[in-house]
Amino acid sequence: MSTFTPPKSDKMSRDTDASNDSRTSTMIRPGKPQYRLVEDVEDLHRYCPGGYHPLEIGDDLDEGRYRLVDKLGYGGYSTIWLARDLRTARYVAVKAITGDASTYTPEASLLCSLGNSPPGPGSEILPRLLDEFWIAGPNGKHRCIVTPPARMSLFDAKEASTFGLFRPNVARSIIAQLIRGVVFLHSRDIIHGGNILVQFPKVIDSFSTPELYKKFGEPHSEAVIRLDGKPLSNGVPARMFVPGWFGVRSDDIFLGEEKITLSDFGESFNPHKTVRFSSKTLPLLQPPEARFSDKSLSFASDIWTLACTIWEVFGQRPLFEAFSPLRTQVETLGVLPPEWWGKWSGRRKWFNEEGELDLKKTSRGHDGVRMTWDQRFDYCIQEPRGGGGPRNRGGERGGRSRRCFCRCWPSGQMKERQHNRFCAQNG
C-alpha cells in the first residue's frame, strides 16, 4: 500500500527506493563530510562509482528527446526530473537510477507488466511506463524510467496547509481512488509499498518552459564546494538542484483536481513469490507483524497500511503517533498477540503484562490522559473538521458513518484483517 512521505526527506515525487535500501550498497559514505552542506538535496557523497548520475537543468537525454527543465525529487537510489518530451510536446518525469541499482530494480518491469494487463477499476491511478532508456556516465550505466509527472505528495499538500485537511468531498474521492487502486494491485498479486502523489492538471502540457517558470518559479541550485578546497571529481555535479514546488495546499484542492497516482514501485512485490519480513513504509503506518512476526508480509499487512492512510487522508493527525507507534497501537486497539507481546522489549516502559497502561509511568493524550478509540477519532478527525471553518466540516451524519467505518480498521486483536473485497464493498 502507498504511504505518506515526510517533507524534506522525500518531497513531492522523491522516491522511497525502499527495495533497493534492503540491499547492501558497494559504496561506503566517508566518516567526515567532504562537501559544504546543501540542504534538501540527495547525499552528495553518493556521486561516486555506482551512485547517482550527475545531471543539470538543460541537459538533453536519450538522443535529445528529453530536456530537463526542473527537479522533482530524489531518493536513496534515484533522482527524479521534470523534463519536456520534445517529440510529443508534453512534460514527463524522468527517474535516473543509480548505477548499482539499475541492474536489479524491478520498477520498470513491474510497470510494464501492469500496463499490459487488462484494465480495471483502480488501474487509472497507476503510472504508465512511457519509455525506458540507459545513459552512461562517470559513475556507471544508469537505467532511466519515464512516466507522467506528478506535482506533490499527499503529505506535502497537508504540510503546506494551515489546517492540514482536505475538503471532505476531496478526501472521500482520494480514499475511493486509493481503495480501487489497492483492489486492482491485489488482484494482480502486488503489494505496493510506495508513495501517493497528486497528478498535474492536464493544462500543464500547454505551458512553455518560460511559462512554467513564471507560474512555479525558476529552478534553484547551489554550487558544490569541497571542504578541502580541492577540485570536484568528474562524477560530481558542479551544482545541486533543489526540488521545485509545483503543489498547492490541501484545502485549496477542489473536486476534479484531486486525481492521484501511485508511485515508487521499487518496493512492490508479489507475496506469493517473494518472502519479505520487514516493511519500509513509515513506522506509524507499519503493521505490527512487520516488527515481530516470523511470517512474510501479506495482503493483510497492506490493508493495515491502507487503513492508517485512509485515516490520515480524512483527518488532520495520524492514527498512531510517529515517535511511538507501537505504544499508541496498544493503547488504542488492545494488547498484542502473545507471540508478539513477549518480543516487544519496550512494553514495560508503559504497560503491565496485561497490556494495561501504567499511568504512574506516563500520561497519554492531548489532555494528559489515555485516549480511547472514540476520543482519538474526535481529536484527529472530528474536532479539526469542526473548528476549521465550513470548508472542513464533514457533518454529524458523515461523522457517524466515518466513525463506524473506522471501527472496522484495523481489528482490535491485530491479527485478522479483511482483504480487498471488504475494501471494494466499502469504497
pLDDT, residue 338, reads 86
Mean pLDDT value of segment 264-281: 81
Residue with cell 471501527: 407
pTM of the model: 0.82
Per-residue confidence (pLDDT) for residue 126, from 0 to 100: 94
> Which residues does residue 144 pair with via DSSP β-bridges, in sequence order?
96, 133
Name the grid cell of 320.
498512531
Report which of residues 399 and 320 the model is more confident about: 320
Q: Is the pLDDT of residue 389 over 50?
A: no
Which residues touch 163 (CB under 8 Å, ≥6 apart)?
A: 251, 316, 384, 388, 389, 392
Confidence of residue 393 (pLDDT cuts 50, 70, 90): very low
Q: Which amino acid belongs to residue 114?
A: L
Q: Please give the pLDDT value at position 280.
A: 75
Q: What's the number of CA atoms in the CB half-sphere (13 Å) around residue 53?
A: 25
Residues contributing to the annotated binding site: 95
Give the pLDDT score at 5. Answer: 45
Average pLDDT over residues 172-201: 93
Q: What angle do CA 205, 206, 208 make, to 5 degrees?
A: 95
423: confidence class by pLDDT, cuts 50, 70, 90: very low
Helices then strands, counting H and E runs in the chain, come out as 13, 11
Tell me what pLDDT residue 180 has.
Answer: 96
Is the pLDDT confidence value at 406 over 80? no
Q: pLDDT higher for 286 or 366?
A: 286
Q: Average pLDDT of 263-279?
A: 82
Residues 193/110, Cβ–Cβ less than 8 Å: no
Mean residue pLDDT across the chain: 82
Give the pLDDT of residue 94.
98
Binding residues for ATP: 95
Q: What is the pLDDT of residue 24?
A: 30
Residue 96: name the closest of 162, 172, 147 by CA. Answer: 147
Higher pLDDT, 402 or 140: 140
CA separation for the pair 276, 296 (Å, rounded): 5
Q: Is the pLDDT higher at 391 or at 194?
A: 194
Residue range 366-392: mean pLDDT, rounded:
70
Q: Give the tens place of pLDDT for each residue, 278-317.
A: 777 777 788 888 888 777 888 988 898 899 999 999 999 9
Residue 360: predicted pLDDT: 56
Rg (CA), the chain: 22
Distance CA 265, CA 280 (A): 12
Q: Give 274 or 93, the one with higher predicted confidence.
A: 93
Kindly tell me if the per-residue pLDDT of 378 is higher than 70.
yes
Q: Which three cell numbers stand for residue 101?
A: 541499482
Buried-exposed string 335-370: b where 16+ CB fall within 10 A, e elsewhere: bbeeebbeebeebeebbeeeeebeeeeeebeeeeeb
pLDDT for position 250: 96
Show the domains of the chain with their CATH numbers. Answer: 18-149+200-247 (3.30.200.20), 275-426 (no CATH)
The pLDDT of 143-166, averaged and rounded, is 95
Is 21's pLDDT higher than 50? Answer: no
Average pLDDT over residues 70-99: 97
Q: What is the pLDDT of residue 3?
A: 53
CA distances from 196 to 169, 259, 265 (A): 18, 10, 11
Per DSSP, the residues of 352-386 read -TTS-B-TTT---STTSS---HHHHHIIIIIHHHH
| Per-residue model confidence (pLDDT) at position 8 | 37
Q: How far apart are CA 221 and CA 241, in angstroms?
A: 4
Q: Which of the pair, 133 or 116, is modelled with greater confidence?
A: 133
